[in-house]
Amino acid sequence: MKPTKRIINRIAVTFLLLLVVGFPAAAQDQPLQIKYWLAMSQPNSHLFEVTIEVNLPNDLGLKSLDFQMPKWSPGRYAVFDFAKNVQEVKAREACPAGLDCTTPSSLVTRVDDQTWRVELESKRPGMSLMFSYKVFANDLSGTFSQLDARHANFNGGCIFMYVVKHKQDPVALSINAPKGWRIVNGRSEKGDQSEFQFPNWDVLVDTPTEIGPDWTDDEFKVDGKTYHVVVHSLGKEGGKRPLLVRDLEKIVRAETAMWGPPEFDSYTFLFHFANDGKSSDGMEHLTSTQIIMPGALADKDAPEETLDAAAHEFFHLWNVKRLRPLELGPWDFTRPANTRGLWIAEGITNYYGHLMQRRAGLWNDAKLFGELAEQIQEVENSPGSKLMSAEESSLAAPFIDDAPHAQQTNLANTTVNYYPKGEALGVVLDLLLRGRTKGATSLDDVMRRMYEEFYLKSPNATYYLRGRGYTAEDFEKTVATVAGSDLSDFFKRYVRGVETPPYEEAFAQVGLRFVRTARAPVTLGITGDENEAVNFKIASLRPDSPAAAAGLQVGDVITTFGENRFTAKNFSKVLARYKPGERVLVSFLRGTRPMSTTITLGGPQLFDFRIEEDANASAEAKALRAAWLTGQYRGGAQASSPASTRGACVPNGRHHLTSRAAITFAAVAPPPTAPAIVGASGFATSPTANTFATLVSCWEPTIT
């Protein structure tokens, strides 16, 4: 791209973004002094009491202020309309001691479903506007909030309105907690802290907070950074908390070994063991994560499931919270966020969350391979995977990310989730990169280079965070640069298209076999209602199935299948008697009306997948596998900080070196130049030579 055109494009994108968030200098009102006061005087009412104090400027042109409740919150892209829980909105003026504050309450008008306007009919120097309301909250979640007799837990997006056009202004928060309740969040600096300062409203609502009498706080240090492990248990712990803390440290060490030390001084893991059988969530934040588990810590599988969530959320510290798609911060909370990059931000994070547990020593190879196969299986058995691409799935997030639906939808048949879809693409891309460059580069290098270019080195594009967001095209270009190869065909077919990724080729790069076996010899394309013990009631139906072709519908009750009575229990046993192509008479009830149809049975549509070692794998493939699974490069070195040149460095020392001086680096020789021929995987078979330096400056590795 020509420099002049690139500059013009950047200016245009930045200008449009600033128009959306209300941040251009020409349109921005002068900054306001804003403070939030949070009280909870009656916990059993589930009502948080919020007051927003705004010091009014000496601006005669300021006739009103708008206060707005978001429709959704970052990290959860469905629209929940938080304003539905707002009540008792009021406004009044306050003034310093010694002044006569006898002015009547300000006029408050509800402008729309999420906005309240305060008319400033009269104001005097030194006076403040006190805008107050209550919020009902009784959901323990990474999105919602809860206040009850046991504790208070809030996520700011559903509690704190913002002053329109002033989200970028610094804000303060004062919390008035019930007696004996303590406050903790990712911004806590001391044990009795109740006053907090934030650079803007976005960071305020990015700080989930627990307030209660009985949470615990353990800590550990890695690379001079302090990590707090706050546990709020509503059930028995069974002595497992020390083991949880120990294994969390392993995850932190594995992930910081890839990314390098984070930029903060402290980070908080905030865990709730709800012990209610239903509350379950996880949400990433800039200096913390909040994870809710439905059981007790003492439960058999609770620690492993908790660590799985933590590995994912901690990886978000870099991928999505700092390295972020262009559309993810700052946001327009009057409409859903739309980005093509969630398969990267969430899906690739899902991949690394699993891989990092293997690198941390918490999982063995079989556990990782099983999890990867399960994610791929979810994608490939989904009828929506043939209709929806990874990028389109990202754009559909407001519909599929825990979104409430009042009407029936066909989303189960038309969508694919960007979490497993992104993970499947992530592992394929990672292994193809490793194989095609003989271990010189990987997806690790892509992510580090992206972080460095768009977060660490780019000029600040907005008030929200340092750096700037990336586009889908930026990611594709970075992958190609790191690979030294044209990958446009890969992205066209597998990311923007719906072709099945080359799983077999990818896993073969590291000496593994990708095996697919039919789940059943024939296919109907239906599942039964598990709550029906006597009859077979159709719970779901694939649109591309024999059952759909025969005219069956969800809700139909199959009474006989051929000469067999059909139930949910004998479903698989009965089908095993038939072969593809056979025609079977089916009797069923649609409501109370008896009906019949003939089904022509089809071949397998559902498959089970497994990943296993190839007994004939080469030594080179096995070495690539070891490097992939451990995060080590040739010579036993793990990356300790991001560098744009990492992909071209290959350490050639021995394993288990004990001295930094003992390791040397050899340059990757440029491959012979040849025309780029696109193979079945979408990779050019002959990478360009310009990304392979004769000798490059590499960072000093941490030797393991």
Residue 472 lies in a domain: yes
> Is residue 476 over pLDDT 60?
yes
602, 580 in Cβ contact below 8 A? yes
Model confidence over 511-534: pLDDT tens digits?
Answer: 999 999 999 899 999 999 988 888
> Residue 255 corresponds to which tokens in the numbers above?
């992930």
Q: Are residues 572 and 620 in the same domain?
A: no
454, 468 in Cβ contact below 8 A? yes
> Is residue 671 over pLDDT 50?
no
Q: The domain spanning residue 78 has which CATH number?
A: 2.60.40.3650
Q: Which residue has the higher pLDDT, 234 or 17?
A: 234
Residue 375 lies in a domain: yes
Determine which of 422-431, 674-683, 685-694 has the lowest per-residue pLDDT on average.
Answer: 685-694
Q: Are residues 395 and 276 in the same domain?
A: no
Q: The domain spanning residue 232 has which CATH number?
A: 1.10.390.10
Those residues whose C-beta lies under 8 Å from the C-beta of residue 248, and which sit 6 or more positions away, are 220, 227, 229, 269, 307, 310
Question: Alpha-carbon torsion 503, 504, 507, 513, what sign?
Answer: positive
Model confidence over 295-323: pLDDT tens digits?
Answer: 999 999 999 999 999 999 999 999 999 99
Beta bridge partners of 129: 54, 93
DSSP state of 684: B
> Residue 601 corresponds to which tokens in the numbers above?
């049975």
Q: What's at 677, amino acid-wise?
A: I
Beta bridge partners of 134: 49, 87
Q: Are residues 534 and 403 in the same domain?
A: no
Q: What is the mean pLDDT of the chain?
A: 87
Domain final position from 210, 243, 274: 210
Model confidence over 314-351: pLDDT tens digits?
Answer: 999 999 999 999 999 999 999 999 999 999 999 999 99
> Is residue 215 over pLDDT 90?
yes
Q: Are residues 615 and 540 in the same domain?
A: no
**CA–CA gap between residue 295 and residue 158 (Å, rounded):** 25
> Is residue 664 over pLDDT 60?
no
Q: Are residues 163 and 17 in the same domain?
A: no
Model confidence over 148-197: pLDDT tens digits?
Answer: 999 999 999 999 999 999 999 999 999 999 999 999 999 999 999 999 99
> Is residue 606 over pLDDT 80?
yes
478, 450 in Cβ contact below 8 A? yes
Domain final position from 553, 572, 605: 605
Residue 694 has what pLDDT?
Answer: 27
DSSP 475-509: HHHHHHHHHTS--HHHIIIIISS-PPP-HHHHHHT
> Is residue 441 over pLDDT 90?
yes
Residue 328 lies in a domain: no
Q: What's at 638, amino acid-wise?
A: Q
Residue 121 has what pLDDT?
Answer: 72
Residue 320 lies in a domain: no
Q: Containing domain of residue 20, as a range?
A: 1-30
Q: For residue 680, what pLDDT band results from cuts at 50, 70 and 90? A: low
> Is residue 692 over pLDDT 90?
no
Determine which of 97-106, 397-406, 418-427, 454-463 has the lowest per-residue pLDDT on average.
Answer: 97-106
Mean pLDDT, residues 36-44 taken together: 98
Residue 324 lies in a domain: no
Q: Are residues 19 and 36 in the same domain?
A: no
Q: For residue 95, what pLDDT band results from cuts at 50, 70 and 90? A: low
Model confidence over 351-391: pLDDT tens digits?
Answer: 999 999 999 999 999 999 999 999 999 999 999 999 999 99
Q: Are residues 51 and 188 in the same domain?
A: yes
Q: For residue 564, what pLDDT band results from cuts at 50, 70 and 90? A: confident
Q: Are residues 120 and 144 in the same domain?
A: yes
Q: Are residues 619 and 600 in the same domain?
A: no
> Residue 585 corresponds to which tokens in the numbers above?
């008479």
Residue 153 lies in a domain: yes
> Residue 354 corresponds to which tokens in the numbers above?
């699993």
Q: Which residue has the higher pLDDT, 640 or 625?
A: 625
DSSP state of 347: I
The CA distances from residue 632 to 76, 258, 669, in Å, are 34, 9, 21
Domain final position from 605, 624, 647: 605
Residue 14 has what pLDDT?
Answer: 41
89, 156 in Cβ contact below 8 A? no
Q: For residue 58, what pLDDT band results from cuts at 50, 70 and 90? A: confident
Q: Are residues 298 and 426 in the same domain?
A: no
Q: Are residues 566 and 583 in the same domain?
A: yes
Model confidence over 627-663: pLDDT tens digits?
Answer: 999 998 544 445 444 433 333 333 332 232 222 222 2
- Using DSSP's 3-state secondary structure scheme, residue 464 falls into coil
Q: For residue 96, what pLDDT band results from cuts at 50, 70 and 90? A: low
**CA–CA gap between residue 670 and residue 687 (Å, rounded):** 9
Q: Which residue in the block uniquely carries the two structure tokens 């930045």? A: 14
* Domains identified in the chain, total number: 5
Residue 322 lies in a domain: no
Q: Are residues 37 and 164 in the same domain?
A: yes
Task: For strands 665-667 and 649-651, give the pairing.
Answer: antiparallel
Residue 376 lies in a domain: yes
